[in-house]
């Protein structure tokens, strides 16, 4: 989740923008641990006061506040912070999750996810099957089948275990 959290269009920065726009720290507080609220509140107050100086000052102060909020969020998750990311395409999954949550309808998301999983596993299965009629006298041919079969088994077993364990 970290990459999306680091994004300028991620949930932490959106909440921080909302807090600044509404001049209400409560919009961003849920994203940090209670122990870090003091540092975030201090950054919030400083940002609000600097924003009044000029447009450039506001832009710089806002960015500093976003970085502070994301850094503190990472601290609470015990993850390292490497800076904010802008203009990054995180793929289709997060927008589909956001849409499902907003509409309170998971059907389209589930269809997308299940089709993606089915196509991925089917492709791996087809690869194994295409190699099963190998020439027993061709070591490379046999090796390709063995490797594809083992990779397919390992991948599907790990997938199953991940889902089973949650």
Structure tokens at 101: 């949550």
Alpha helices by DSSP H, 23-106: 37-51, 55-77, 93-103
| The pTM of the whole model exceeds 0.85 | no
Instruction: In whole angstroms, give the CA distance from residue 106 to residue 74.
Output: 28
Check: CB of residue 101 under 8 Å from CB of residue 72: no
Instruction: Give which of 33, 63, 29, 34 is closest to 46, Cα–Cα.
Output: 63
Instruction: In whole angstroms, give the CA distance from residue 55 to residue 63.
Output: 12
Task: Give the per-residue pLDDT at 1.
Answer: 44
Which residues touch 158 (CB under 8 Å, ≥6 apart)? Answer: none
CA of 89: how far to CAs of 85, 110, 117, in Å?
10, 21, 21
SS percent in the chain: helix, strand, coil, step 5: 75, 0, 25
Instruction: In whole angstroms, give the CA distance from residue 89 to residue 32.
Output: 25
Per-residue model confidence as pLDDT tens for the chain (166 residues): 455 777 788 889 999 999 999 999 999 999 999 999 999 999 999 999 999 999 999 999 999 999 999 999 989 888 888 888 876 667 888 889 889 999 999 999 999 999 999 999 999 999 999 999 999 999 999 999 999 999 999 999 999 999 999 7
Instruction: In whole angstroms, give the CA distance from residue 128 to residue 122.
Output: 10
Task: Give the per-residue pLDDT at 92.
Answer: 86
Delimit the domains of the chain by residue range: 2-77, 93-165
Task: Give the per-residue pLDDT at 88.
Answer: 66
């Amino acid at each position: 989740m970290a990459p999306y959290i680091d994004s300028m269009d991620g949930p932490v920065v959106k909440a921080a923008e909302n807090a600044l726009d509404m001049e209400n720290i409560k919009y961003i507080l849920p994203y940090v641990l209670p122990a870090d609220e003091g540092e975030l509140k201090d950054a919030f107050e400083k940002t609000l006061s600097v924003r009044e100086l000029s447009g450039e000052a506001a832009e710089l102060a806002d960015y500093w506040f976003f970085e502070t909020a994301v850094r503190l969020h990472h601290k609470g998750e015990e993850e390292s912070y490497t800076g904010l990311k802008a203009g990054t395409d995180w793929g289709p999954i997060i927008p589909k999750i956001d849409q499902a949550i907003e509409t309170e309808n998971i059907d389209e998301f589930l269809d997308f996810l299940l089709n993606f999983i089915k196509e991925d596993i089917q492709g791996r299965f087809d690869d194994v099957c295409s190699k099963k009629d190998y020439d027993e006298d061709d070591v490379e041919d046999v090796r390709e089948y063995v490797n594809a079969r083992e990779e397919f088994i390992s991948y599907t077993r790990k997938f199953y275990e991940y889902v089973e364990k949650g």
